[in-house]
Amino acid sequence: MVDLTELTIKQAHEGLKSKKFTSVELTKAYLDKIKTIDKEINAYLLVDKEGALTQAEEADKKVATGEFGMLCGIPCSIKDAIMVEGQKCTAGSKILENYVAPYDATVIKKLKEQGAVILGKTNMDEFAMGGSGENSAFGATKNPYDKKRVAGGSSSGSAASVAGNEACYSLGSDTGGSIRLPASFCGVVGLKPTYGAVSRLGLIPFGSSLDQIGPVAKTVEDCKIIFDAIKGKDPADSTSVELEIGNSKLEIRNLRIGVPKEYFVKGLDPQVEKLIRDAIKKAQNAGAKIVEISLPSVEFALACYYIIAPCEASANLARFDGIKYGFSDNSANDLRDVYLKSRGHGFGDEVKRRIMIGTYALSSGYYDAYYKKAQEVRQLIKQDFAKAFDLSAGGVDLIFCPVSPVLAIKIGERTNDPLSMYLMDICTVSVNLAGLPALSLPAGKTKDNLPVGLQIIGNHFQESKILDVALQMEKILT
Amino acid sequence: MISEQEVKHIAKLARLELSEVEIKKMQKDLSVILDYFDLLKKSPKVRPIITQSSLIKGYGATRKDEAIPQKREVVEKIIASAPDKKDDYIKVKAIF
């Protein structure tokens, strides 16, 4: 018999439809897999066995009626920054260790309406701050392809759970690459939607002008199914929008694909470069017109991002004061001491570092040199992409580039050097600064069997264009 | 290089208690990161342009500033997550 945990959403849906197996059987297969391998991988922070089986029983009733959606009865995992009512939601932090989510995030409401089965909550860098998953207060997630290496972050458990067949799909969040980077390192598909395409209600905020929830899945087709289920306007998130993201049915041979020269410079691992160049060559062989483009301001993107994101984080994380949620240091004498001690002892090193950077950059005397300057540079980056995607002026349909300049790093390799850790985000952050959608597609593996992701960037709300092309590229690349 | 005094001042503003060891490490880490930010000095000047929010209808829409009634159970759950409480109130330590 086939291993049920290897199925895609589409295949599992077909299996349920043709009564080859039930959702309860499918769910049990995943729970068994988690029990067997997760001690080693550490993808999950919480496994809700009873809850998942109850949801699976409900789903089976729906399946029996013959009227059920694509996600009905399909087991998934959820990044621990996204609230699932009644379950702990730690965001990978000690400060929220015992926090129980009082309501469902909008994306969870939508998945539950479809009859989804939620297996549990996945590991992540504390408050989504990190590119390797090592900043989790509950230990790093290991890469299923090489357990001495990181799974990538911050949605480390989301990507590892899908890659290791511990979930059929997952929801992650992406502030500076946190879906795409682990998807690339773990050889799965991850989509960071356009800012505003998916409601952020119920997502523990990091950088509110950058954060987006998105799917992690085994295939592009699965990613599209999940994205269609979670997208749309939510009255409770004023930045979300209802958009007609139609079916474009594009063909690669009619496309102009831009390759930004700034993403192929010093520091790019030769093995990554080769796989990405090969993928681009294959797109060209399929008839696409490859155009070298320039995004001159992306040179400043990383510095810009590491000012704006920490500034927003320092404001967002002010709510964790030892009074409203979770951890509180009892040894404090007065109110101010409660703040100082609870935050000082509750947050991990990287979170404290970013709060410090943000507070510094926003403080009197430094605001203009840092925050204001970064906002100006953000405009330049937006303009670069707007120009690149201006088809009427000879622009391109999509941009192809690496997700990460490096392969999955070894655990501990960069933990003592924060800046070198930040540099892993060099190809992903500009997408968030510009609010664009982008997808990480497995482009192949190195001789050591380490996956490399091709990043496909589109113009605002052109998810369907990205997904259409990724679907064709997926066929070409495998 | 950012001074130790500055690190202490920022930590105070950020309401973070840092140990002596943490202050030293923070001083070193922040200095490297702030040096990297100097790159932005090379970026060209920009004139303010229209932002994304003004281009998309409904983006950043506001609602009336009014209390939205919540179900009692939601209220209870929110109060329950506070570490220290009495009845429907969240308890805090004395201000001084």
A356 touches chain B (CB under 8 A): yes
B4 touches chain A (CB under 8 A): no
CB-nearest to B37 from A307, A363, A379 is: A307
Percent of chain B with pLDDT over 90: 48
Cα A284 to the chain's mean position, in Å?
Answer: 28
Does residue A184 have a cis bond before it (omega within 30 degrees)?
Answer: no
C-alpha count within 13 angstroms, C-beta hemisphere, residue A280: 24
Sequence letter at residue B77: K
Sheet order of strands, A44-47 included: A44-47, A117-122, A75-79, A169-174, A212-217, A189-192, A438-445, A451-457, A398-402, A256-260, A289-293
Q: Which residue has the tokens 């410090």?
A: A356
In B, which residues are within 8 Å of A373 by CB distance?
40, 43
Confidence band of B64 (pLDDT split at 50, 70, 90): confident
Residues of A acting as catalytic residues: 79, 154, 178
CA–CA separation, A151 and A184 (whole Å): 9
Which is higher by pLDDT, B81 or A277? A277
In A, which residues are within 8 Å of B31 by CB distance?
none
CA–CA separation, A214 and A192 (whole Å): 5
Chain B CA closest to residue A354 = B30
B1 touches chain A (CB under 8 A): no
CB contact under 8 A, A380 and B43: yes
Structural domains of chain A in order of their starting residue, each with its CATH number: 4-230 (3.90.1300.10), 252-299+376-477 (3.90.1300.10), 303-368 (no CATH)
**Confidence at residue A250, expressed as pLDDT on a 0 to 100 scale:** 82
Cα A314 to the chain's mean position, in Å?
Answer: 21
Strand-pairing partners, residue A142, are A150
CB contact under 8 A, A300 and B63: no
Chain B CA closest to residue A238 = B60
CB contact under 8 A, A419 and B36: yes
**Confidence at residue B88, expressed as pLDDT on a 0 to 100 scale:** 87
Which is higher by pLDDT, A355 or B89? A355
CB contact under 8 A, A344 and B63: no
Question: What separation in angstroms does the CA of A83 have from each of A78, A108, A117, A204, A212?
Answer: 9, 8, 15, 8, 14
CA distance, residue B77 to nearest chain A CA (Å): 5
In B, which residues are within 8 Å of A382 by CB distance?
52
CB contact under 8 A, A100 and B80: yes
Q: Read off φ and ψ for residue A398, nearest 5 degrees.
A: -140, 160
CB contact under 8 A, B43 and A379: no
CA–CA separation, A222 and A199 (whole Å): 20
CB contact under 8 A, A303 and B22: no
CB-nearest to A380 from B30, B44, B62 is: B44
Tokens of A218: 């085994």
Greatest CA separation found in chain B? 57
SS3 sequence, chain A? CCCHHHCCHHHHHHHHHCCCCCHHHHHHHHHHHHHHHHHHHCCEEEECHHHHHHHHHHHHHHHHHCCCCCCCCCEEEEECCECCCCCECCCCCHHHCCCECCCCCHHHHHHHHCCCEEEEEECCCHHHCCCCCCCCCCCCCEECCEEEEECCCCCHHHHHHHHCCCCCEEEEEECCCCCHHHHHHHCCEEEECCCCCECCCCECCCCCCCCEEEEEECCHHHHHHHHHHHECCECCECCCCCCCCCCCCCCHHHCEEEEEHHHCCCCCCHHHHHHHHHHHHHHHHCCCEEEEECCHHHHHHHHHHHHHHHHHHHHHHHHCCCCCCCCCCCCCCCHHHHHHHHHHHHCCHHHHHHHHHHHHHHCCCCCHHHHHHHHHHHHHHHHHHHHHCCHHHCCCCEEEEECCCCCCCECCCCCCCHHHHHHHHCCCHHHHHHCCCEEEEEEEECCCCCEEEEEEECCCCCHHHHHHHHHHHHHHHC
B5 touches chain A (CB under 8 A): no
- ipTM of the complex in this document: 0.93
Q: DSSP class of residue B67?
A: P
Query: Under a CB-based contact definition with an 8 Å cutoff, are residues A463 and A456 in contact?
Result: no
- In the three-class reduction of DSSP (H, G, I as helix; E, B as strand; rest coil), residue B85 is classed as strand
* Nearest Cα residue to A71 out of A18, A110, A125: A110
* Nearest Cα residue to A185 out of A328, A43, A318, A88: A43
CB-nearest to B58 from A241, A300, A352 is: A241
**Confidence at residue B96, expressed as pLDDT on a 0 to 100 scale:** 80
pLDDT of B27 strictly over 90 = yes
**Confidence at residue A245, expressed as pLDDT on a 0 to 100 scale:** 61
In A, which residues are within 8 Å of B15 by CB distance?
318, 321, 336, 339-340, 343
In B, which residues are within 8 Å of A321 by CB distance?
15
CB contact under 8 A, A356 and B26: yes
Listed as ranges, residues in chain A with pLDDT below 50 are none
Query: Under a CB-based contact definition with an 8 Å cutoff, are residues A226 and A169 in contact?
Result: yes
CB contact under 8 A, A344 and B16: yes
Q: Nearest 10 degrees: CA dihedral of A4, A5, A6, A9?
A: 90
Strand-pairing partners, residue A190, are A216, A440
Enclosing H/E stretch for B13: helix B4-13
B89 touches chain A (CB under 8 A): no
Query: Which residues lie below 8 Å from residue A128, measured CB to CB, with a gap of 6+?
Result: A81, A91, A92, A153, A154, A155, A173, A175, A178, A204, A206, A211
Query: Under a CB-based contact definition with an 8 Å cutoff, are residues A142 and A40 in contact?
Result: yes
**Confidence at residue A27, expressed as pLDDT on a 0 to 100 scale:** 98
* Nearest Cα residue to A339 out of A359, A357, A311, A317: A317
CA distance, residue B78 to nearest chain A CA (Å): 6
Query: Which residues lie below 8 Å from residue A109, measured CB to CB, with a gap of 6+?
Result: none
In B, which residues are within 8 Å of A344 by CB distance?
16-18
Q: Read off φ and ψ for residue A412, nearest 5 degrees.
A: 90, -10
SS3 sequence, A316-343? HHHHCCCCCCCCCCCCCCCHHHHHHHHH
C-alpha angle A2-A51-A161 in degrees, rounded to nearest 5: 50
